[in-house]
Amino acid sequence: MGALRRGHPKLQALLLLASLTLYLFPSVNQDETTVWTGLRHSATCGRVQPDRSERTVWPFVSVQIVTYNRSAFLIQALQQIAMQDYPGPLEVIVMDDSPRAEEASQFPQELDIRYFHVDRCTIGEKRNMAVAEATRSGAEMICIWDDDDIFTVDRLRQQVSRMVARPASCSSIQVAFVAVLTSGILQRCKGLPLPFENSFCFRRSWLEGRPFSNTSLGEGNVIFEELDDWYAEAQPISGEELPFLYVRTQSSTAPDDALEPYPVKSMLIGGQNPRVDVSLLALARAFRRERFPELPAKALEIARGALRRVMQEDLEKMRKDINSTSQLAPVYWDALNLEKAWAFGGGVPEGSLNHALSAKVDVPEENDVADSDGLIIETDVAMRLIAKALSDF
């Protein structure tokens, strides 16, 4: 049940978005290279006039979880939210229409959780009820958190800071990685880099008067359907910059080809003249920088295991043919380690730029030789560092 509803809405959203073909406006995030210094910077984008007054207060965020009869996933989502590094006020609204109410004693005590056990209803109704509750509590931002996704610990801060800085009505993340629980594999998505509805944050004032439809399928489509440029409004962040794991369970019904996922086998791509897949290395870097929460979650185990295996194999491949990998190894190391991955056009900032809040990074001393000015390090040094990085996984 929860399953059906879990898979379809996303697929539905995806298909809607695809059918609108608004990916023809791909450069919405042109100013992504703007350095985000928390709330101080205003960047002009979208059609809202930026508010140039200095903000020093992080807005009140209401995180919305709608769930049905999957206690373990709900608890895991709550644990993740408790681990978020969001510096401002935060509440969690849980709308649960399961046969039995949850025991509140299982919830993380440090969170401000408002739990509602409601009669059986559609996902859209539950979302609207959660929005009404957020209105009651006076939250400025509303973020959706599906109970079976794994986000990085900086998800809320990254999305909300962008919304405040721009300012934007929405923020979303393009899905890039899928952890499949049933087969234990990690997949990459290719094709259209579209945002999933589970990744959205909204300004509450914008969402009011834009209710979700009373369905359990594509209930969010109606919100964007009538906009002439939904992509600009959605403000998608690339899945490499803000990676998350879309967790597919036995009950997920969205077909694989909706996402065009393919298994992660190596970070070296191409036959004769291999290149480094910097997008995939961005996920490994996120793990290395401890941006994913410390949770005993199967999806994290799958992703970590897959990355460790391919890094080991890549390293062996590179060792076998040092000559042809003299360029590969330094690039590999850079993409795996450097905050500013020069390989992405323009050096997109990744992770936190608020260093006081950023996830811990354990960079070995040898990294002195590979500073962020893009100095290319020696092949053998790079190989040694990659081998060392493997121990972090």
Ligand X SMILES: *[C@@H]1O[C@H](CO)[C@@H](O)[C@H](O)[C@H]1NC(C)=O
CB of 38 to ligand X, least distance (A): 39
Nearer to ligand X, 28 or 75 (CB): 75
- Does residue 125 interact with ligand X by CB under 6 A? yes
Quick one: 297 exposed, middle or buried, by C-beta within 10 A (0-12, 13-18, 19+)? buried
Could you tell me how many helices (H) and strands (E) the chain has, helices first?
11, 14
Question: x/- site string to ligand X, residues 210 to 229, per CB under 6 A?
Answer: ----x---------------
Nearer to ligand X, 125 or 149 (CB): 125
Helices (H), the chain: 2-20, 71-82, 123-137, 155-165, 204-207, 221-225, 230-234, 278-288, 298-320, 328-337, 379-390
CB of 211 to ligand X, least distance (A): 9
Please give the backbone phi and psi of residue 133, each rounded to the nearest 5 degrees, phi first: -65, -40
Nearer to ligand X, 93 or 338 (CB): 93
154 touches 359 (CB < 8 A) = yes
CB of 66 to ligand X, least distance (A): 14
Q: What residues contact 27, with CB distance under 8 A and at least 6 apart?
A: none
Residues of this chain, 358-377, that bind ligand X according to CB under 6 A? none
Name beta bridge partners: 170. 202
Residues of this chain, 3-42, that bind ligand X according to CB under 6 A? none
CB of 315 to ligand X, least distance (A): 17
CB of 373 to ligand X, least distance (A): 28
Nearer to ligand X, 52 or 100 (CB): 100
Nearer to ligand X, 195 or 330 (CB): 330
CB of 269 to ligand X, least distance (A): 22
CB of 380 to ligand X, least distance (A): 13
Would residue 234 be called left, alpha or beta, if left means φ above 0 and alpha means ψ between -120 and 50 degrees?
alpha
What residue has token string 């390989």? 343
- Does residue 250 interact with ligand X by CB under 6 A? no
Name beta bridge partners: 116. 95
Q: What residues contact 166, with CB distance under 8 A and at least 6 apart?
A: 42, 43, 44, 45, 46, 48, 50, 235
Nearer to ligand X, 1 or 375 (CB): 1
What DSSP assignment string belongs to 225-273? HT-TTHHHHH-EEPTTTS-EEEEE-TT--S-GGGT-EEE---SEE-SSS
Q: Among candidates 146, 65, 67, which has minimal Cα distance to 111?
A: 65
Nearer to ligand X, 201 or 328 (CB): 328
244 touches 200 (CB < 8 A) = no
Please give the backbone phi and psi of residue 262, each rounded to the nearest 5 degrees, phi first: -140, 145
Interface residue with ligand X among 109, 323, 360, 362 (CB under 6 A) is 323
- Does residue 1 interact with ligand X by CB under 6 A? yes
Decide the pairing of beta strands 201-203 and 170-173: antiparallel
Residues of this chain, 49-78, that bind ligand X according to CB under 6 A? 69
40 touches 54 (CB < 8 A) = yes
Nearer to ligand X, 122 or 279 (CB): 122
Nearer to ligand X, 211 or 347 (CB): 211
Q: Residues in contact with ligand X, total (CB under 6 A)? A: 7
CB of 4 to ligand X, least distance (A): 11
CB of 223 to ligand X, least distance (A): 16
In the complex, the residues that contact ligand X under the rule CB under 6 A are 1, 69, 99, 122, 125, 214, 323
